[in-house]
Structure 1
């Protein structure tokens, strides 16, 4: 019983991970006057005097995902989906890394930054980008893995949801990278699809813990 209570608590952290991330991010988008969501990616909120808030947001979200993956292991001991938990764990580690390493200033944010895009990429910015995209790749792979689990279980709705999210999230990322306007909004929606899937899956697995 004690172990099951721990499992439920860890999965609950996964449930709140995406809502918490986007509530904190949206508050910053509204309150940080130099930030323009049409031009700036959410990652750039890690810059400036208040950048520690978004850095912590990335780190906490990553930790919650890792803990949720650990908590779900016992539920999937005899079923498919164990590989998906490893992928979610790597996603969480990538989010932590994205919080520890910041992108380069540019497009006028934060205050005093060059008005154009950075002409070169620093080492910490490269690590931030690699960690962030590795997180997305792992999540997409996890969606495919869990689509197989739900197919085996005969849960067509969840299978379709996993497959749809695995297609929509990368399409939005590609669109965001190829369009110079609304980039922050497009990337933000991609994050809602991907991160939201983690929270939805954690909520689904939480039901199995009762």
Structure 2
């Protein structure tokens, strides 16, 4: 995706307003800590450059990685998480296929309810997604926008697999301008009332409208 954006010029547009970080695939502990320190410094810095250059930070990360599952981005370190797609495991992976087969056979042989292969497969996807969603809401006074670029969340079947604190706050939008207006209003409000117990807004933007 990043390579495509670089070829189309979209990546340059992002860099014009934010310093862009990409989660390193392989990095030692010291290198990774330096990477996080640089991001946190820029993300929390609200000053606008005099030359009109980029301010703040934008990070690209993957599901099931260090960033999406093990790092705490509280307060101004992260005010929005944008989620693209649903991270289902690769269906043709041998381990995934064997695990599903094992679960199906165990469920069929058991006299008690057991997790079937398809149910296990779905659980893996939503576990990874819910881990990522919680990166920007780390305490009771924290706040942030969670944005889904995924049309499947128009279905209650998918929404009910999200964490309980998210389900009732999902707001579907069918038009980009309407969604952006809602995000802007939300950000302006909570920037002025950040000392109050916050309620995060969860926004869904249908991917076919982007």
Given the two structures, how large is their TM-score scaled by the length of structure 1? Answer: 0.25
Higher RCO structure, 1 or 2 (CA under 8 Å, sep 6+): 1
Q: Which has the higher helix share?
A: 1
Q: Which has the higher strand share?
A: 2
